[in-house]
Amino acid sequence: MTPVRLALCIAVALAAAPAFADDTPPQKATNLGEVDVTARLDEARNSLSPDTGSSQYVMDRQTIQALPLGDATPLNQVILQAPGVVQDSYGQLHVRGDHANLQYRINGVLIPESIGGFGQTLDARTIDSVKLLTGALPAQYGDRTAAIIDITTRTAKQDGVNGSVGVMGGQYGTLNPNASLFGRSGNWSWFLTANYLENDNGIENPTSSRKPIHDHTNQAKAFGDVSYLIDNDTRLSFMFGVTNNRFQIPNNPNQTPQFGYLDVTHFDSAQLNERQQERTRFGVLSLQGKMGDTAYQVSAGERYSGLDFTPDDIGDLMFNGVASNVRRANRATTLQADFSTPLGDNHTLRYGLYGSFERATSTNNALVFPADDTGAQSSTVPLNIVDASRVLARTYAVYLQDEWSIGDKWTVNYGVRGDRYNAFRPESQLSPRLGVVYQPTDSTTIHAGYSRYFTPPATEMIAPTSIAKFDGTTNALQNDGNDTPLAERASYYDIGISQKIGSAWTVGLDSYYRKVSRIQDEGQFGAALVYSTFNYDQGRIKGTEFTVNYDGGALTAYFNFAYNRAVGKNVITSQYNFNPDDLAYIANHYIHLDHDQKFTSSGGIGYAFADSTRLGLDYLYGSGLRRDGAVPNGDTMPDYFQLNLSVGHDFHFTSAGPTHAQLALVNALDRTYELRDGSGIGVGAPQYGPRRGVFLSLQQDF
């Protein structure tokens, strides 16, 4: 049975629903006097971002609150409900066969990505709606193009001060208090939210046990958005966020030491004490409005991200032959300007620029043992080696595009984007884009697109290594190789159809193909749980997504099913991280990328009783990520299925506002499943999915 036929059969059985919609209604805002200034400015800002020819999925606030953990759902778990999104260990997401390559925008402003870690920088409580754009994107979108995660933040709906306070708690020592504050007075409006999370299951368990060993986490997040209306056509906004996450690295007991340390010959692996801290801060000042018929938004931003991995010196030396104290930091300064000008009744010209200047530093303060010519340990007294690097990266981009409405049925968006990236050497590309939408009837929409992409390496992932420094040690690198990461270049083709059936059903089918040179990937190489980038010479990615949505009022449901195949050939950068035999095989053969998952599915059903009681069910299914077999990444992990249940009710104890209560059962069937087994290209350790957990959320509005 083909993937599409299988998806159709499952869809009929499930009765799907509209957690996602392709035509989200405009955001509404409170009138200021007789003129709805905020709504006009929101409409002008929305006009800056086209999506013609791309695939889009929208989740609103009500959909997020219907998830088992509601507003406490981590952002990556929210995005997992969209089609074609694959979960991985350490909170990573893969969209349409890409390793990461995700772009986050808040109110249309691009937020530079943080250094890849375990925690989430953004919080679901900031979201009024979130749009996932994939496929052949218009010329406005560049840099990170696997998917655009475009968040519209919550805003005050009326004058005065309102807000919400609450707490979520449950098994595994979970405690998550939070508070949000909305305000509107005269020309000022603001939204502030903060929360603190701690639990004993911060990172995926390397064993199948219910309770991980040494896996506590403390995470604090805050976000704010303050706006001032200068006049009816101009708004000045300042947006900021702060994140500080601390993690214990979970232990895998009963491991056997491979090295001796002084006179110590035994170390209990359950007593290892590795830790990681992640910090992110960003701020963006935006001027947005209209000059005549031209809408604009100009933003200047600053983002700092840091990651510190602290090893267990003795334990890591005895198990790995190296104890790496890793420090990475990245500071980015950005400027973004977008403009939209209508030309007559049928054309809209959009144009703009983007620039960023990044300063990335990396330090690996490593303890290692001396080794002989065979690589065997020759002394139990460790050596200290410091390997440090500094990278300056500049990114510039300009774009120009025209959206042309041809009659009532056709819309064409064509344009060109120019990118230039300079870190180790200058690289650039001129990229044409073309998107077409045909709507033969009110219920049928067909889209198709082609985009040429230029993707610079993620500067925060670049950590050049001094190979010679580790010669003659237990951390010696086996291969020389190109230490300069390269920009990825790709041709992306996408075609899809969306069909409304009656007033409640929407069915969609989308197919894509991407031909890539210098395809980028990431891997965990070494004992420290940080990622580094590398390139294959060639890559091929293709897939199909099928969606069914149902909205019957009280009953809603959705179903997504996706097929994907992602392969790469010939590693051309950072070869020293690879086993020589693996490297020789990959040089002449395409292999599956480690994050390639053949089948992925998500779905859910919700029912509301009299607007005060809600029942919910959702699931995730995956056919398994890659692991080593007869060849690198030649086998798959077992498939998995996770079912989540929830029930919520609104109580009216006071006149201040309703009290929301929601009880969630995560992995209700308590099915044990393994995301990774520790094998595969750039995979460092086993990771298991969550075991069954019960969680209760209480939220009081005021």
Residue 623's alpha-carbon distances to 10, 63, 545, in angstroms, are 15, 26, 15
Lowest mean pLDDT segment, chosen from 2-16, 276-290, 593-607: 2-16
Task: Give the chain's radius of gyration (CA, Å).
Answer: 25
pLDDT value at 260 more than 90:
yes
pLDDT value at 11 more than 90:
no
CB 3 within 8 A of CB 563: yes
pLDDT value at 27 more than 60:
no
pLDDT classification of 547: cutoffs 50, 70, 90: very high
pLDDT digits (tens, 9 = 90+) for 507-536: 999 999 999 999 999 877 765 556 778 999
From the number of C-beta atoms within 10 Å of its C-beta (0-12, 13-18, 19+), residue 373 rates as exposed
CB 398 within 8 A of CB 412: no
Lowest mean pLDDT segment, chosen from 105-114, 308-317, 345-354, 435-444: 105-114
Of the two residues 171 and 16, the one the predictor is more confident about is 171
∠ at Cα 188 (186, 194), nearest 5°? 135
d(CA 286, CA 111): 13
Q: What is the pTM of this model?
A: 0.88
**What's residue 39's pLDDT?**
67
**What's residue 529's pLDDT?**
56
pLDDT value at 347 more than 60:
yes
Type of residue found at 23: D
Find residue 523's DSSP bridge partners: 532
Q: How do beta strands 555-571 and 591-592 pair?
A: antiparallel
DSSP one-letter string for 631-682: STT-EEPPPEEEEEEEEEEEEEEETTEEEEEEEEEETTT----EEEES-STT
Whether domain 3-263+298-701 has CATH 2.40.170.20: the reply is yes
Residues 254/255/259/264 CA torsion (nearest 10 deg): -20
∠ at Cα 233 (232, 237), nearest 5°? 95
**What's residue 65's pLDDT?**
86
**What's residue 447's pLDDT?**
94
Find residue 455's DSSP bridge partners: 488
pLDDT digits (tens, 9 = 90+) for 602-631: 999 999 987 789 999 999 999 999 999 999
**What's residue 119's pLDDT?**
67
- Mean per-residue pLDDT of the chain: 88
Determine how many CB atoms are found less than 10 A away from the CB of residue 364. Answer: 25
Residue 479's alpha-carbon distances to 70, 333, 518, 519, 525, in angstroms, are 48, 36, 20, 20, 13
d(CA 216, CA 214): 6
**What's residue 604's pLDDT?**
94
d(CA 492, CA 496): 14
Determine how many CB atoms are found less than 10 A away from the CB of residue 288. Answer: 24
Q: What is the mean pLDDT of residues 183-192?
A: 93
**What's residue 526's pLDDT?**
62
Determine how many CB atoms are found less than 10 A away from the CB of residue 279. Answer: 20
Distance of CA 356 to the CA centre of its chain: 20
CB 625 within 8 A of CB 676: yes
pLDDT value at 22 more than 60:
no
pLDDT classification of 682: cutoffs 50, 70, 90: confident
**Lookup: tokens for 631:** 């060849």
pLDDT value at 24 more than 70:
no
Residue from 114, 386, 388 nearest 277 by CA: 114
CB 35 within 8 A of CB 572: no
pLDDT classification of 37: cutoffs 50, 70, 90: confident
pLDDT digits (tens, 9 = 90+) for 375-392: 899 999 999 999 888 989
Q: What is the mean pLDDT of residues 270-277?
A: 95
pLDDT value at 45 more than 80:
no
Determine how many CB atoms are found less than 10 A away from the CB of residue 448. Answer: 17
**What's residue 40's pLDDT?**
65
**What's residue 7's pLDDT?**
40
3-state helix, strand, coil in the chain (%, to 5): 10, 55, 35
